[in-house]
Amino acid sequence: MPLPLSAIPPRLNDNDPANAVCESAETLALLARRRSSKLMHLTEPGPTSAEIDALIELAARVPDHGKIGPWRFVAIEGDARARAGAALAEAIKTDEGVDENRLGFVRDTFLRAPACVMVVSAPQPNKKVPEWEQQLSAGAVCYNLLLAAHALGYAGCWLTEWQAFDQRAAKALGVGESERIAGFLYLGSPSQAATERTRADAKARISRF
Ligand SMILES: Cc1cc2nc3c(=O)[nH]c(=O)nc-3n(C[C@H](O)[C@H](O)[C@H](O)COP(=O)(O)O)c2cc1C
């Protein structure tokens, strides 16, 4: 059962006191236990538009060198899911070997989950902040959005798939030439319990200089 939006503290204003530390056993448990859901296990209800906006507000509170905000969000929810899928299908319909089956699958891209947020990396030319840092900030936004969704009570997953790497798909979804799709965050409620996946051995990847 998702928490009410009133559980999210109000947005801070510039220079308001914030938390340099935030001891939280619940947050540690979230980090130690959260899992993405498979797309096919994301079912209704998904987050409402107001909840999506609130999740985005939380997601955008990431480290962002130079306060550039080098990312933007496109909510694909409700009827827009079919329209966005149709735009993707239109973009590939004349490709060799594309048949009605494939077009149907592509048309349903965003209908596979109750809601989706496309996170767009939108780096700005900046003398002090390399593009790489701005792209990393977009990655942080994606994960923050997933964590926020889990904490509010929704399941989700961060996918890219072909449509994140295809120029025509990007154009069809309104992504500019200087932008890149960092991810599609699909959101909903879990139809199945999650189980742990094999994890990279973090210890084996630690060295000390
Ligand atoms: C940038 C990025 C793109 C991803 N794209 C896909 C994808 O296209 N298809 C897929 O099956 N998993 C993809 N994944 C993997 C899933 O999001 C996820 O990592 C995996 O299901 C396990 O997630 P968990 O550790 O949150 O449980 C991607 C992950 C990242 C970080």
Domain count, the chain: 1
pTM for this entry? 0.97
pLDDT tens figures, 110-143: 999 999 999 999 999 999 999 999 999 999 999 9
Assigned domain for 62 exists: yes
Assigned domain for 162 exists: yes
User: How many angstroms separate the CA atoms of 41 and 53, rounded?
Assistant: 23
Assigned domain for 206 exists: no
Assigned domain for 123 exists: yes
CATH code of the domain in which 172 resides:
3.40.109.10
Ligand 1 centroid to Cα of residue 157, in Å, is: 7
Helix axis angle for 80-92 and 100-107, nearest 10°, is 140
Q: Could you tell me the residue range of the domain that residue 121 belongs to? A: 38-78+111-191
Assigned domain for 134 exists: yes
pLDDT tens figures, 41-96: 999 999 999 999 999 999 999 999 999 999 999 999 999 999 999 999 999 999 99
- Ligand 1 atom closest to residue 164's alpha carbon, by position in its atom list: 8
Ligand 1 centroid to Cα of residue 128, in Å, is: 31
Nearest CA to ligand 1 atom 28: 159
Ligand 1 centroid to Cα of residue 181, in Å, is: 14
Assigned domain for 31 exists: no
- Ligand 1 atom closest to residue 35's alpha carbon, by position in its atom list: 27
Assigned domain for 165 exists: yes
User: How many angstroms separate the CA atoms of 197 and 28, rounded?
Assistant: 18
Q: Are 109 and 151 in contact (CB under 8 A)?
A: no
CB of 161 closer than 6 A to ligand 1?
Answer: yes
Please name which of 94, 96, 62, 92 lies closest in space to residue 173, comparing C-alpha atoms.
Answer: 92
